Chains A and B, each alone.
Chain A
Amino acid sequence: MSALASSREIQEKVLATQGRPGVVHTLLIIVAAGAAAFGAWCWSLQIRYGLQVSGLNRPVGWAIYITNFVFWVGVAHSGTLISAVLFLLRAKFRTAVYRVAEVMTVFGVMTAGLFPIIHLGRPWFAYWLFPYPNERHLWVNFRSPLMWDVFAVSTYFIVSAIFLTVGIVPDAAALRDATDGWRRRFYGLFAFGWRGTDEEWRHYARAYLYFAAFATPLVFSVHSVVSWDFAVSVLPGWHSTIFPPYFVAGAIFSGVALVVTLLVPLRRILHLESLITPWHLDMTSRVVLLTSLVVTYSYILEYVLAFHGPPSVERSTLVYRATGPYAPLFWTMVACNCIFPLLLFLRQVRARPAALLAICVLVNVGMWLERFVIIVTSLSHDRIPFDWTGIYRPTFVEVGITLGSLGWFFLWFLIFVRLLPVVSISEMKEASAHGGEDAA
């Protein structure tokens, strides 16, 4: 019951993931770095020639860049949900999966943060977004939701990075004491002199609880703020009071789906099957199913509200969304987000990692399309019928930057998993000693 026999086994399994990357891992890093480099080259074209190389034009002035921003911020939500909210709820299944989710959060926000800057067209003026003292006393407009975004996303990034770093401290100390050479020195940097004494644990446990308490409202606030970028405008299709809960549910949905998408191959490549078990995948996929149902309800509610009452421009936009030139994207979104996840009701599907992976990849495609459909269809069918002929088509520069963002995210992630533990060693040891479900 309380023996620590499996503690060393857990530590050695995680330590084994920290070795020299294998062929598959190295190839993945090369592909990710190549995609990131291609994205950087595409961005350089945009910096050189201006936004004319993008498909942005009247009336669609926000498109794929803002879609990517909302997608990556949304993806980043699951990390805090799994690490903070499920910590406060004492959900046991989080132990094996939360580190991956936290890492995904930090790199997801890093990726999201690029897009408002890319979208600016003149990225060298990005610092105008921040309130800084200047000789004219000209300050940013705090009544603008774009400014709320700057504060919400910056705070989310800093708090998530702190939460991740603090969680790594005891694990880095364990790896420091189990290795030598440069790795010992490297882990020592992240261990901050940790010795595992009762005084350290006493304060650590309390501080961790407060980090979770701070991070939990952030889960709900950040994507609510992102939704207000749209909802506080008067554009049909955007101006909706259900957007904050709708966006938060969608963010958790896409984020947890990406966690599963990463976990399934990761546990195989790093041989972590005994730590990240089918039970963990099953429980995580239940969160995907639950949030899929919430998102489906939001989609239905959006149409019910538009069709409740006399004909309106809102109704016209939503009909356009489902029947206009973007209809194939809309119905693909519905299939990916509402239909395919229903398969997760079947225990046999949840028990098969390959099936889970396929469904979660489709969910991520669907959630990216959701943001694209909301942004582009609303702008291309605004209150002025004159504008309705404007069809947005992304250029190769925009597609290249989008692929580059995937490369950028996966490059950081793939490097991280070889340098720092992707499973919380100390929490796994605790769970194992108490004979919980997480026992190795």
Chain B
Amino acid sequence: MRPEAGVLGVFSNLARGAQAIRALRAAGHSDVRMASPAPFPELVEALERPRSRLDSATLSGALLGVLAGFALCIGTAVAWPLVTGGKAIVSIPPFVIIAFEVSVLIGASVNLVALAVTAGRGRRRRAVPFDPRFSADRIGVFVVGDGLGDAETILRESGAEEVRRVA
């Protein structure tokens, strides 16, 4: 992953990190990124990123599962039409259980694949320079671009412990 040019600020305080992101965005920096050790909602909200669109993929997977579950039960029942216990060959109530389980199975599997694809793509497209502290106890705020003297000033004024240029 080739790092893009920009300025990286390292924060030890959550509120200051969020404040820096808001200040950078208010100053007109559109490509502000972040790395953190935990899913801090303040930081994500400050970035004002759109909501993840996993919904449609996951919902499609769940609906596909319902159809696959019913298709499996009905198709196999019709393929060998053996009456057991006087019950109907195509008996919908018991098939609902299979359809539900397959729906959950395929929905969760698609959710997993969608997460792997979207998170992996996002990591590459909006890369933040690696620093092991960002998975431990520090927050990295990264502003992409050239020049960026004002971004350095904003990061320092917001309370960054360390500000450095990334070539």
Contact = CB atoms under 8 A, between A and B. Distances in A.
Contact of A199 (B87, B125, B139): B125
At the interface, is chain A mostly helix, strand, loop or mixed?
Answer: helix
A196 B105 contact: no
A159 B104 contact: yes
A152 B100 CA distance: 9
B153 interface: no
A433 B42 CA distance: 11
A308 interface: no
| Interface size, A (range) | 35 or more
Contacts of A1: 15
B34 A197 contact: yes
Interface stretch (A58-66, A97-105, A139-147): A139-147
A396 interface: no
Interface string B44-66: 10010101101100100010000
B77 to A, nearest CB: 7
A28 B98 CA distance: 40
Interface in B16-63: 16, 33-40, 42-44, 47, 49, 51-52, 54-55, 58, 62
A197 B35 contact: yes
A142 B94 contact: yes
Which of B37, B100, B118, B120 counts the most chain A CB atoms within 10 A?
A: B37
A297 interface: no
B148 interface: no
Contact of B108 (A152, A170, A195, A211): A211
Interface stretch (A46-54, A111-119, A214-222, A258-266): A214-222
A80 B72 CA distance: 27
Given A7-B137, A137-B79, A151 B101 contact: yes
A139 B119 CA distance: 40
A210 B103 CA distance: 13
Contacts of A433: 14, 38, 40
B94 to A, nearest CB: 5
B98 A148 contact: yes
Given A4-B14, A151-B101, A221-B100, A210 B127 contact: no
Nearest to B17: A2
A174 B37 contact: yes
Interface stretch (A201-209, A245-253, A355-363, A402-410): A201-209
B76 A195 contact: no
Contacts of A430: 38-40
Contacts of A3: 12-14
Contacts of B137: 4-5, 7-8, 11, 429
A426 interface: yes
A221 to B, nearest CB: 7
Interface string A136-175: 1111111100011001101100110010001000100110
Lowest 8 CB-CB distances: which A-B pairs, in order? A199-B122, A2-B14, A139-B76, A177-B132, A7-B137, A206-B52, A207-B115, A430-B38
Interface of A: 1-5, 7-8, 11, 131, 136-143, 147-148, 151-152, 154-155, 158-159, 162, 166, 170, 173-174, 176-178, 192-207, 210-211, 214-215, 217-218, 221, 225, 425-427, 429-430, 433
Given A177-B135, A197-B128, A202-B52, 14 more contacts: A4-B37, A7-B136, A7-B137, A142-B95, A155-B104, A170-B39, A174-B135, A176-B135, A197-B123, A202-B51, A203-B115, A210-B108, A426-B39, A433-B40
30 contacts: A3-B13, A4-B12, A7-B37, A7-B38, A7-B137, A8-B137, A131-B72, A131-B76, A139-B79, A139-B80, A142-B95, A143-B84, A151-B102, A152-B101, A158-B105, A195-B134, A196-B134, A198-B35, A199-B49, A199-B121, A199-B125, A203-B114, A203-B119, A207-B52, A207-B54, A207-B115, A210-B54, A221-B100, A429-B137, A430-B40
